[in-house]
């Protein structure tokens, strides 16, 4: 604001000075006019031939550099905009098929804008390869996985029930106890097929009620194994039992396969979507705030933490040893669940992605490598304040490397692998550049 004010003040003074009339020297009389020699500007000498040649060469170099750095952004931005418009038009034609009467009632919705538009990333989203490329929040994807598994029970009850047991139950320790108990039921039958007591499971039994009954997918698993619920006499009364029929003892291979499937199955977990974006420098400079999903704390706890941070640092910084400061730093880092990684390329474009704080650094290297137009190895990711990261750090996670909660790397090719015969002015492939907003 001060520079703008000074600029306009200078303009006002110049305008007043021009309106004051022709100037006079202190030694001249009021009626005397300045000589013509003071009115004629001094003529400049024409540039020499060598100066003209040097100037033309410098101008050519400048135009070449400008064209080299600017043409890529323009080209990819135009392509991205054209493809987005065509794709939006195609989807609109397919999905929005309105009759004339419906079209009259159709009105555009009002969109409410909030502060989320200035965030570095709008949120943290996940996907499941089994369900497709659609992304959603963690809880939404988890619910979709559960619904999908239960929808497959009728087609393949054995495999679906194994996946349900591993995926849809929260407590991992209880899941392991449940699996051990179910495997014990099956192994008793396989080892002692003629013993009738091993082919019956009393539902009111304490072990069953604590280990099996509360877990999702166990009923479907027992049905897939061949068990069925029957009421049998027990202690002068009748109780419900899971009963394995005697006629299925001739072929126990199904039980063996089901037991092996239950032991070897792995849970289906939502996978973190990178939220890949390509930013221009101006966008990266304004979009720096992280959404609440990045933190392990609630919004209120985070606000209180930010308010007290400065006071705590001033009070304790002088009293802490190096070891104590490192512990405090790690405690601060562990407040974050995700890390925003940005990679700045020499052409000015910035590649952005979201990572879990306990992911290996190798995931960042793979992410960057998959977005490059040239598959040269190795490349270097360096920090502005110092420190270079290469493939040697791939086995360490982001927390241990202090790459939390947000980091900006500078990308450079290793000089030993650059191919002088190939163009290295473009770094990101076309598919990635189309993500430019």
In contact, 373 and 429? CB cutoff 8 Å: yes
Residue 308 has a pLDDT of 57
Give, in order, the Cα–Cα distances in Å from 189 to each of 146, 159, 185, 225, 257: 31, 20, 7, 11, 14
103: left (phi over 0), alpha (psi -120 to 50) or beta: alpha
Residue 311 has a pLDDT of 55
Which residues on adjacent β-strands are paired with residue 279? 350
Give the residue from 278, 168, 158 showing the smallest Cα distance to 221: 158
Yes or no: domain 277-296+336-433 corresponds to CATH 3.10.20.90:
yes
Pairwise CA distance, residues 195 & 188, whole Å:
9
Domain parsing of the chain, residue ranges: 127-264, 277-296+336-433
Pairwise CA distance, residues 71 & 408, whole Å:
25
User: Per residue of the chain (437 residues), what is the pLDDT tens digit?
Assistant: 455 455 556 655 666 665 565 655 555 555 544 444 444 445 556 667 667 766 766 666 655 555 444 444 545 555 565 666 666 666 655 554 444 444 344 333 333 434 445 788 888 999 999 888 899 999 999 999 999 999 999 999 999 999 999 999 989 999 999 999 999 999 999 999 889 999 999 999 999 999 999 999 999 999 999 999 999 998 888 999 999 998 888 888 889 999 999 999 999 999 999 999 999 988 888 888 888 888 876 656 555 655 555 555 555 555 556 565 566 555 666 688 899 999 999 989 999 999 998 899 999 999 999 999 887 778 889 998 778 887 777 889 898 888 988 999 999 888 777 666 666 678 899 899 888 86
We find that the CATH architecture of domain 127-264 is Up-down Bundle (1.20)
Pairwise CA distance, residues 136 & 437, whole Å:
20
Domains 127-264 and 277-296+336-433 belong to one CATH topology: no
Q: How, if at all, do strands 338-344 and 132-136 pair? A: unpaired
Give, in order, the Cα–Cα distances in Å from 163 to each of 214, 223, 224, 367, 397: 16, 15, 13, 29, 29
In contact, 367 and 381? CB cutoff 8 Å: no
pTM above 0.85, yes or no: no
Give, in order, the Cα–Cα distances in Å from 212 to each of 150, 193, 290: 18, 22, 42
Q: Return the structure tokens found at 166.
A: 């591993």
Pairwise CA distance, residues 9 & 3, whole Å:
10
Residue 319 has a pLDDT of 56
Q: Which long-range contacts (CB under 8 A, 24 or more apart) does 111-117 make?
A: 116/291
């Amino acid at each position: 604001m001060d520079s703008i004010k000074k600029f306009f003040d200078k303009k006002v003074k110049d305008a007043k000075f021009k309106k004051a009339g022709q100037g006079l020297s202190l030694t001249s009389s009021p009626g005397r006019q300045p000589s013509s020699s003071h009115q004629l500007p001094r003529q400049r000498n024409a540039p020499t031939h060598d100066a003209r040649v040097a100037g033309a060469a410098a101008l050519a170099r400048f135009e070449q550099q400008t064209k080299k750095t600017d043409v890529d952004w323009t080209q990819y931005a135009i392509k991205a905009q054209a493809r987005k418009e065509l794709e939006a038009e195609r989807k609109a034609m397919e999905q929005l098929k309105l009759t004339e009467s419906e079209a009259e009632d159709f009105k555009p919705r009002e969109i409410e804008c909030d502060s989320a538009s200035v965030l570095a990333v709008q949120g943290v989203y996940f996907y499941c390869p089994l369900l497709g490329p659609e992304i959603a929040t963690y809880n939404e994807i988890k619910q979709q996985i559960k619904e999908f598994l239960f929808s497959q029970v009728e087609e393949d009850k054995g495999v679906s029930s194994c996946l349900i047991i591993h995926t849809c139950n929260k407590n991992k320790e209880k899941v392991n106890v449940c699996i051990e108990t179910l495997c014990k039921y099956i192994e008793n039958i396989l080892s002692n097929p003629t013993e009738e007591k091993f082919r019956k499971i009393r539902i009111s039994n304490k072990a069953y009620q604590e280990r099996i009954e509360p877990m999702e997918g166990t009923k479907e698993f027992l049905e897939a194994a061949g068990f069925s619920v029957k009421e049998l006499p027990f202690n002068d009364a009748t109780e419900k039992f899971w009963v394995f029929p005697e006629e299925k003892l001739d072929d126990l291979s199904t039980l063996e396969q089901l037991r092996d499937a239950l032991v070897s199955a792995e849970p289906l977990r939502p996978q973190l979507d990178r939220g890949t974006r390509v930013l221009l420098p101006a966008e990266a400079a304004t979009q720096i705030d992280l959404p609440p999903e990045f933190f392990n704390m609630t919004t209120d706890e985070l606000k209180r933490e930010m308010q007290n941070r400065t006071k705590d640092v001033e009070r304790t910084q002088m009293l802490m040893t190096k070891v104590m400061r490192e512990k405090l730093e790690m405690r601060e880092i562990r407040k974050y669940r995700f890390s925003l990684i940005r990679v700045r390329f020499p052409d000015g474009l910035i590649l952005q992605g979201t990572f879990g704080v306990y992911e290996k650094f190798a995931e960042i290297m793979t992410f960057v490598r998959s977005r490059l137009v040239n598959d040269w190895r190795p490349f270097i990711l360096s920090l502005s304040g110092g420190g270079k990261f290469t493939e040697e750090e791939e086995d360490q996670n982001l927390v241990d490397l202090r790459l939390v909660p947000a980091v900006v790397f500078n990308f450079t090719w290793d000089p030993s692998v650059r191919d002088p015969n190939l163009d290295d002015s473009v770094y990101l492939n076309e598919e990635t550049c189309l993500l430019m907003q």
